[in-house]
Amino acid sequence: MGSGTAFWMRAVIYTKLKVCYEGLRKNADYITQNVDNIEQAIDNAMIGKYHHTNPAEFENITNILQARKA
């Protein structure tokens, strides 16, 4: 079986889509309300996310985690 949600799990599929949609709406609302500084709005909305193939961002996350561990 593949790594996706099985077709027979319709309620799970609906719930996943609903959660993604609600998150997208909340981010869109937040960005719309902060359109005077769109870059800061996007940065704030993406807190906790990082570009894992960007070596600089990966290093920053690694340093943060190591600091918290200490």
Please report, for the chain, the start and end positions of each structural domain, with discontinuous segments joined by +. 10-69
Contacts of residue 16, Cβ cutoff 8 Å, sequence gap at least 6: 5
**pLDDT value, residue 8:** 67
Residue among 49, 46, 48 at smallest CA distance from 30: 46
**pLDDT value, residue 29:** 86
Q: What is the pLDDT along the chain (70 residues), one digit of tens a residue?
A: 455 666 666 677 788 888 889 988 988 888 888 778 878 777 777 777 777 788 888 888 888 888 887 7
Helix and strand counts by DSSP (H, E) for the chain: 3, 0
- pTM for this one? 0.43
